Amino acid sequence: MKNRIREIVLLSALVAIAGLPAPAQDAPATVALSTAVAPAADPAPAAAPKAASWGVPEGRMFFPRNWVRGYVDFEVAPPHNEPDLGRCTQSQTIIIAAGGVNSPCNAYARYLLGGYLEVQPFGRTLARHLFVFFTPTFSFGNNVPQFKYTASMAGIAFERAVGIGFELPKNFEIRVAQHQVDWLGKYKNPVGVGTPGLDLGTSGPYGLYATVGARWYFGGYGRAREGR
């Protein structure tokens, strides 16, 4: 009887010892399972993008991308629509006295060649908002309204405006400009001296002047398309 009790106790001890690794093995599995099903931590919130500065986007310090820009324009006026540069009288009586179709004062343009040039050489610091602009227009023609219409490309005048500008926020900018006209060819001197009143002797379209002004771009037009 004692031997059987001893065997039962020994067998129970062996079973207990054999069962010890089982909980130990289950523990890592439980930890791994918990790790697998645990919700992923939320990623750190992305930093807010830096607000774009007003004006042309920054570039290298000198001569950034597109630091010279503009356009060239060529226009032709059909007969009976020639631009009047304000040099010759429109009096039919005086024109007839000067020879009508042969009148020496025929500053009515057939062609206009012009454009716009803008130079913005700095790409950093406050100076990057500063630019220089130039708007030339050349006039060519030889016409006398109601008397003569030709396709001549004789030079008449060189009109231009030059100035400086500075970009401001909200698509605004300020500009300081100076405008003048130089007569070309025979118009450098008085024409039709023998016919009083034929040559008005003016200083050209709008003459010589200077202005200080403000400009606002809207609807994606002009400089507003460059990131303003």
Note the pLDDT tens digit of each residue in 34-89.
Answer: 444 445 555 555 665 555 567 777 788 888 988 999 999 999 999 999 999 999 99
Residue 51, C-beta contacts closer than 8 angstroms, at least 6 positions apart: none
pLDDT at residue 8 is higher than 90: no
Q: What is the pLDDT, as a whole number, of residue 46?
A: 60
Q: What is the pLDDT, as a whole number, of residue 57?
A: 75
Lookup: tokens for 130: 């500063």
* Overall pTM > 0.75: no
Q: What is the pLDDT, as a whole number, of residue 145?
A: 95
Between 209 and 15, the higher pLDDT residue: 209
List the end-to-end C-alpha distance of the chain, in Å, as a whole number.
103
- What average pLDDT score do residues 119-147 get? 96
HEC states along the chain?
Answer: CHHHHHHHHHHHHHHHHHHCHHHHHHHHHHHHHHHHHCCCCCCCCCCCCCCCCCCCCCCCCECCCCCEEEEEEEEECCCCCCCECCCECCCHHHHHHCCHHHCCCCCECCEEEEEEEEECCECCCHHHHEEEEEEEEEEECCCECCCECCCCCCEEEEEEEEEEEEEECCCEEEEEEEEEEEECHHHHCCCCCCCCCCECCCCCCCCCEEEEEEEECCCCCHHHHHCC
Q: What is the pLDDT, as a whole number, of residue 153?
A: 96
Q: What is the pLDDT, as a whole number, of residue 148?
A: 96
- Rounded distance between C-alpha atoms, residue 168 and residue 172, angstroms: 5
CA distances from 107 to 73, 97, 206, 208 (A): 21, 17, 15, 19
Between 82 and 15, the higher pLDDT residue: 82
Contact 180, 160 (CB under 8 A): yes
pLDDT at residue 137 is higher than 60: yes
pLDDT tens digits along 155-164 = 999 999 999 9
Task: Please report which helix (H) or strand (E) contains residue 71, including its range.
Answer: strand 68-76
How many residues can be counted in the chain? 228
- Rounded distance between C-alpha atoms, residue 175 and residue 120, angstroms: 14
Between 8 and 194, the higher pLDDT residue: 194
Q: Where are the domains of the chain?
A: 2-37, 68-226
Q: What is the pLDDT, as a whole number, of residue 28?
A: 44
Lookup: tokens for 166: 């500075």
- What average pLDDT score do residues 182-203 get? 95
Arithmetic mean of pLDDT over the chain: 83
